Amino acid sequence: MIEQLNQNYGYLFEDKLLDEIMSVGVYKKVSEGIPLIEIGDYINSMPLILKGAIKIQREDKEGEELILYFIEPGDTCAMTLSCCMGQSKSEIRAIAETDVELIMIPVQKMDEWMSKYKSWQNFILKSYHDRMSELLEAIDTIAFLKMDMRILKYLRDKAMVNHDDIIKVTHKEIAQDLHTSRVVVSRLLKVLENDGKIELHRNHLKIIDL
DNA sequence: ACATTAAGTGATT
DNA sequence: AATCACTTAATGT
């Protein structure tokens, strides 16, 4: 855990802060597909991701879901940040996209470190900024890009966070993530296959060239 | 062999 | 781009 912390955050934080993280943080390992945060949950600790990726999604009252973005090692969850400060409920759901290793930091420490460590303050501010950018990007994607472009982006993101060009996912799951119908996904994937960009198989697909 | 689930397709709006 | 209705193919029991 120490090596992983250093590897992902060592260049960001000063040694004293790393020591504190080590002593106060709780190491957790979460398997793929397990929800980390549900909508409506109160958040009492913030995650620092060491390994793997987490999928952040939004959901409406009918239970329809939609992908917002993925977070990876070196990232933290901006929702956590705003929730912790305002003591409000989570408005998003976080699901482990892959097997994930992370360190949970109690919220009280966040405040403390904000004034104590310049590097922490920078990290939080930068995280906020990064998430905000990603959110805007997500909005652009949803509002302005056509479905075929959205699927391309989805596949690229997915390949990136998994570090694998074989993506194990069904058309139905893609449809749910992008909030569209399975038939549409099947058709668009078929087009991509004909263009030689991907290979289709049952329960998984392979990226050739995006 | 049969049931279940994933994926492909034409037609319609 | 969504929905329906139907087919085909893969997989589990």
pLDDT > 80? residue A73:
yes
Domain boundary among A143, A162, A189: A143
Q: Indicate whether A199 and A139 sit together in one domain.
A: no
pLDDT of res. A168: 92
- Which positions on strand B lie below 7 Å from a protein C-beta? 6-11
- Cβ neighbours around A134 below 10 Å, total: 17
| Cβ within 7 A of any strand B atom | A 170-172, 182-183, 186-187, 189-190, 200, 202-203
Task: Name A94's Cβ contacts closer than 8 Å, sequence gap at least 6.
Answer: A35, A36, A37, A54, A55, A56, A77, A79
Where in A89-162 does DSSP place strands (E)?
93-96, 100-106
CATH of the domain at A199: 1.10.10.10
Q: Residue A198: which domain range?
A: 146-207
How many Å apart are A177 CA and B13 C1'? 25
Domain boundary among A143, A166, A193: A143
How many Å apart are A30 CA and C9 C1'? 35
pLDDT digits 0-9 by tens, A180-208: 999 999 999 999 999 889 999 999 999 98
Q: Indicate whether A113 and A101 sit together in one domain.
A: yes
Checking each nucleotide's C1' against the CA of A201, the nearest proves to be B7
Q: Indicate whether A53 and A118 sit together in one domain.
A: yes
pLDDT of res. A11: 85
Q: Indicate whether A118 and A202 sit together in one domain.
A: no
Task: Return the residue matching tokens 């405040």.
Answer: A111
Task: Name A123's Cβ contacts closer than 8 Å, sequence gap at least 6.
Answer: A12, A13, A76
A62 φ, ψ (degrees, to nearest 5): -80, 0
In this complex, the residue with its CA at the shortest distance from the C1' of nucleotide C1 is A184
pLDDT > 70? residue A66:
yes
How many Å apart are A149 CA and C5 C1'? 28
pLDDT > 70? residue A209:
yes
A207 φ, ψ (degrees, to nearest 5): -90, 125
Q: Indicate whether A106 and A196 sit together in one domain.
A: no
Report whether A29 contacts A100 (CB < 8 A): yes
Q: Indicate whether A119 and A33 sit together in one domain.
A: yes
Q: Indicate whether A154 and A138 sit together in one domain.
A: no
Q: Indicate whether A86 and A120 sit together in one domain.
A: yes
pLDDT of res. A65: 84
Helix (H, G, I), strand (E, B) or coil at A2: helix
Q: Indicate whether A126 and A161 sit together in one domain.
A: no
Q: Indicate whether A6 and A30 sit together in one domain.
A: yes
Count how many domains chain A has.
2
pLDDT of res. A84: 67
Checking each nucleotide's C1' against the CA of A151, the nearest proves to be C1
Q: Indicate whether A133 and A150 sit together in one domain.
A: no
Tell me which residue of A185, A180, A181 sits closest to A167, measured CA to CA: A185
How many Å apart are A177 CA and B7 C1'? 18
- Compute the distance between CA of residue A204 and CA of residue A167 in angstroms, rounded to an integer: 6
How many Å apart are A123 CA and C4 C1'? 51
- Span of A14-18, A82-86, A110-114, A137-141 with lowest mean pLDDT: A82-86
Q: Indicate whether A163 and A95 sit together in one domain.
A: no
* Mean pLDDT of all residues belonging to chain A: 88
A177: tokens are 């993530």
Predicted model pTM: 0.85
In this complex, the residue with its CA at the shortest distance from the C1' of nucleotide C9 is A202
Query: What is the strand order of the sheet A35-37 is part of?
Result: A35-37, A93-96, A54-59, A65-71
Domain boundary among A128, A143, A158: A143
